[in-house]
Chain A
Amino acid sequence: MIASNVEDSNPRPPDDTSAIRPNGWFRKMLVWIISRATPKCRDVVRILSQQMDHELPVMMRLKLRLHFLACCWCERYMKQLQYMRETARCFPEHAEEASGPALSPEARSRLKHVLSNQ
């Protein structure tokens, strides 16, 4: 999402997937309206993180949808938060593959000793 005055210093990336891109005066105006009617990206990312932990009010969810129409970055951010959640859940069972220090031989034999006394 951009305000038109910052557009020049921050060109949109070639892989921009926003539904509404600010080419032509009409689209520029739409983007401007959306940027005024919805939270700023800095706040959107905070709200998106909150959304992972509790349900947002309907109005806020609508505002986010509207915001995404003109901002591919925030929409991407949301998808990436969800992706991180899905993968983080699998981490504990894959911790062995994540390398790092292993059980020392002493700890290993101590464990076996304690367990065999059960």
Chain B
Amino acid sequence: MKQRSAAQFSSTSAASPTIPTALRNDPAQTNPDRWVDEHGDCLFRYALVRVRRREVAEDLVQETLLAAIRSREKFAGRSSERSWLTGILKHKISDHFRKLGRETSFTDLESLADEFSEKFVPEGYWVHVKGPKEWKPESDEVVYRAEFWQTMRHCLDKLPERIANVFMLREMDEVESKEICSMLSISESNLWVMLHRARMALRECLEINWFNREK
């Protein structure tokens, strides 16, 4: 798997410089085939993390690219092609969950066993050795490398699906909390509980598997 992704990096980075920027932003050159080759895996992997089902993720990528074709005249190259396409995908994901929210009730609160009660003494203060550790700040370049994103994906996959979903709607798709509540028909306090659990669990997972890992 590692070798394969390394090969993909080198193929995209080798292919990119051959197309001059001016041509890339020319509608005649925004060839949808190239979108599939250059951004297909990125869009698909993000969609898969979000919906956890291959067929649904593939459908979302297709809807995204179709919408991109329809609106490509509007894409003026202000942002990178990648962030333009992921922006469209984020909207498609919100639409997906909005439809889903209407069809299924969202009332059962999937719990994360407990709210990390072992981290606090009965009086409510941190058990110090289990409190948040200092995250050694690594330079941005080091943090934003593939291993970090792999760790994040692994941690997100471990969260219960609904809790992960509200967290990603809020922090990745950047949907306002009121909007999420109406999308999923849940109360604001319900949303806060879920977000709190997601943040607590994700923080813990990143700390163990990235910031305090054995290097």
Contacts and interface: CB of A to CB of B under 8 A. Distances in A.
B142 to A, nearest CB: 12
A98 B156 CA distance: 11
Contacts of A76: 131-135
A103 B58 contact: yes
Secondary structure of the A contact surface, majority rule: helix
A3 B200 CA distance: 23
A85 B203 CA distance: 11
Contacts of B143: 87
Contacts, number: 192
A23 interface: no
Contacts of B65: 111, 115
Interface string B77-92: 0000011001001100
A98 B33 contact: no
A46 B49 contact: no
Interface residues of A, number: 58
Interface of A: 1-3, 6, 9-13, 15, 35, 40-43, 45-46, 49-50, 52-54, 71, 73-74, 76-77, 80-81, 83-85, 87-103, 107-108, 110-112, 114-116, 118
Given A88-B152, A110-B58, 7 more contacts: A10-B128, A77-B132, A84-B203, A88-B168, A101-B54, A103-B44, A118-B69
Interface of B: 1-2, 4-5, 8-9, 32-33, 35-36, 40-46, 48-49, 54, 58, 61-62, 65-66, 69, 82-83, 86, 89-90, 115, 120-121, 123-129, 131-135, 143-146, 148-150, 152-153, 167-168, 170-174, 177, 191-192, 195-196, 199-200, 202-203, 206-207
